[in-house]
Amino acid sequence: MKAVIRSIAYHLPEKISTSADLAAEFPDWSVSSIENKVGIRARHVVVDGECASDLAVAAAQKLFDRGSVKPSDIDFLLLCTQSPDYLLLLPPR
């Protein structure tokens, strides 16, 4: 058995949220305090209805489009995310 990573691609959401956007939403925070604490000026964010799996599919499509790999070449796909498409809520005990 042999596993090989032949190519990697990524896809970022088109919408960008800046520190100024956050400061407008949270008036007690300044742009400079957000950037100093977090170290990020802008971040890509999903729009309503866009899920981690949507980003994964778009990244895979980039691989296929550039000829790095064919769908038939893939035996196994692993998607690891801290932002699942759906939360698993257990019933209360």
CATH of domain 1-93: 3.40.47.10
The residue type found at 45 is: V
Q: Tokens 């957000």 — which residue?
A: 34
Banded model confidence at residue 59, pLDDT cuts 50, 70, 90: very high
- Domain boundaries, given as residue ranges, for the chain: 1-93
Is pLDDT of 1 > 80? no
pLDDT tens track for 7-58:
889 999 999 999 999 999 999 999 999 999 989 999 999 999 999 999 999 9
| pLDDT for the residue numbered 41 | 94
Burial 19-50 (b: 16+ CB within 10 A, else e): beebbeeeeeeeeeebbeeeeeeeeeeeeeee
pLDDT tens track for 63-83:
999 998 899 988 887 888 888
| pLDDT for the residue numbered 22 | 92
